[in-house]
């Protein structure tokens, strides 16, 4: 087989990345010698790929306390607190997770570009995976698109889903009148959320729900739970604040000032070891307080 076939078929290297490697000094070598991708390899040959170190020059390093769940030379998994944007956007140039991670790498002497595999809403807490080189980013992005990344969430919602366990299959798209808001609409993008009721509080006035995404649309869980008649507690865009008639409870809204949603579990196949890896993040303090208030009221 040629080097190209080995890289594309065995390692899944994309054509785009392969083109970059060909232009990189000693980007592709066989037994230490630089070769063309048409070079034919034999059993026992050692193929090495070298990617240029990159730095996020457009992201200002900023000291930040990070809850690092896992890190190796290729990958970083962080438990993001609520109220933090993942990547700088218009109006959020500092104070983002990216600012803190870039500073963390700078202090360690690592020249790495910030490449999140997926993102969470500003007010959603939980696990975020960040690739430390282009190959890892490409591989995990493909797993994500193929539905091979496991993402499980915990949410505290009003009322109780009916049935208690089920799947919400409802397409989502932008609201034509308010483009920053998503709605369920027949012409939207396919969106599937699996859920399971984990606990019921206050005689059915609220519940804790475990959710697993099959697709990853913007605001998907929040939109789907509103669509099912069980909006998230504290959700300023799709919940009680946006629609006081949804059956919300004002004192619960005061316990959390954000949607009660936490990305609790994240799992995927590590592109290098080819082994399945899975992480779990404990509930943040505000959701622990919310659950205690629900349980105490129930008792």
Is the same domain home to 141 and 155?
A: no
Domain for residue 242, yes or no?
yes
Q: What is the number of alpha carbons within 13 Å of residue 12 lying toward its C-beta? A: 13
Domain for residue 271, yes or no?
no
Is the same domain home to 75 and 138?
A: yes
Residue 67: active-site member? no
* pLDDT, position 299: 46
3-state secondary structure of 255: helix
* pLDDT, position 22: 85
| Backbone torsions φ then ψ of 77, nearest 5 degrees | -120, 125
* pLDDT, position 297: 61
- Domain count along the chain: 3
pLDDT tens digit string along 191-221? 999 999 999 999 999 999 999 998 889 999 9
pTM of the model: 0.85
Domain assignment of residue 167, given as a range = 151-263+290-298
Is the same domain home to 213 and 294?
A: yes
Is the same domain home to 213 and 253?
A: yes
Is the same domain home to 44 and 14?
A: yes
Nearest Cα to Cα of residue 267 among 82, 129, 90: 129
Domain for residue 283, yes or no?
no
Of 146, 166, 187, which residue constitutes the final position of a domain?
A: 146
Domain for residue 279, yes or no?
no
Domain for residue 201, yes or no?
yes
Instruction: Give the C-alpha separation, 173 to 163, whole Å.
Output: 25
Is the same domain home to 158 and 90?
A: no
* pLDDT, position 244: 72
Of 119, 146, 173, which residue constitutes the final position of a domain?
A: 146
Is the same domain home to 179 and 43?
A: no
Instruction: Give the C-alpha separation, 299 to 292, whole Å.
Output: 10
Is the same domain home to 67 and 125?
A: yes
Of 117, 146, 175, which residue constitutes the final position of a domain?
A: 146
* pLDDT, position 24: 82
| Backbone torsions φ then ψ of 283, nearest 5 degrees | -60, 140
SS3 content of the chain, % helix, strand, coil (to 5): 25, 30, 45
Is the same domain home to 61 and 138?
A: yes
pLDDT < 70 regions, the chain: 297-299
Is the same domain home to 112 and 193?
A: no
- Rg (C-alpha) for the chain, rounded Å, is 22
CATH number of the domain that residue 138 is part of: 3.30.2350.10
Domain for residue 284, yes or no?
no
Q: Are strands 47-49 and 68-71 parallel, antiparallel or unpaired?
A: unpaired
Structural contact between residues 154 and 129, judged by C-beta atoms closer than 8 angstroms: no
Q: What is the number of alpha carbons within 13 Å of residue 243 lying toward its C-beta? A: 14
* pLDDT, position 27: 86
Q: Which of 121, 123, 235, 286 is catalytic?
A: 121
Is the same domain home to 140 and 199?
A: no
* pLDDT, position 263: 97
Structural contact between residues 42 and 90, judged by C-beta atoms closer than 8 angstroms: no
Distances (CA, A) of 11 to 63, 215, 267: 36, 25, 20
Is the same domain home to 246 and 196?
A: yes
């Amino acid at each position: 087989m040629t080097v190209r076939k080995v890289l594309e078929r065995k390692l899944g290297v994309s054509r785009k990345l392969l083109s970059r490697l060909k232009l990189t000094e000693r980007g592709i070598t066989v037994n230490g010698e630089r070769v063309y991708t048409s070079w034919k390899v034999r059993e026992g040959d050692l193929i090495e790929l070298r990617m240029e170190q990159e730095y996020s020059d457009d992201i200002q390093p900023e000291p930040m306390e990070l809850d690092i769940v896992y890190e190796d030379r290729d990958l970083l998994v962080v438990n993001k607190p609520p109220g933090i944007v993942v990547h700088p956007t218009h109006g959020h140039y500092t104070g983002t997770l990216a600012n803190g991670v870039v500073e963390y790498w700078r202090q360690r002497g690592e020249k790495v570009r910030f490449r999140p595999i997926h993102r969470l809403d500003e007010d959603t807490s939980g696990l975020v995976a960040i690739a430390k080189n282009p190959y890892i980013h490409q591989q995990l992005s493909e797993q994500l698109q193929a539905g091979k990344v496991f993402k499980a969430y915990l949410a505290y919602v009003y009322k109780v889903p009916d049935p208690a366990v089920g799947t919400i299959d409802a397409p989502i798209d932008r609201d034509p009148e308010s483009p920053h808001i998503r709605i369920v609409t027949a012409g939207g993008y396919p969106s599937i959320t699996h859920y399971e009721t984990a606990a019921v509080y206050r005689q059915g006035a609220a519940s804790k729900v475990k959710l697993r995404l099959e697709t990853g649309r913007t605001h998907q869980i929040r939109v789907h739970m509103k669509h099912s008649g069980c909006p998230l507690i504290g959700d300023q865009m799709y919940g009680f604040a946006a629609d006081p008639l949804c059956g919300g409870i004002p004192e619960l809204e005061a316990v959390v000032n954000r949607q009660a949603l936490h990305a609790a579990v994240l799992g995927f196949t590590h592109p290098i070891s080819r082994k399945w890896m899975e992480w779990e993040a404990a509930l943040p303090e505000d959701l622990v307080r919310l659950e205690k208030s629900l349980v105490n009221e129930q008792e």
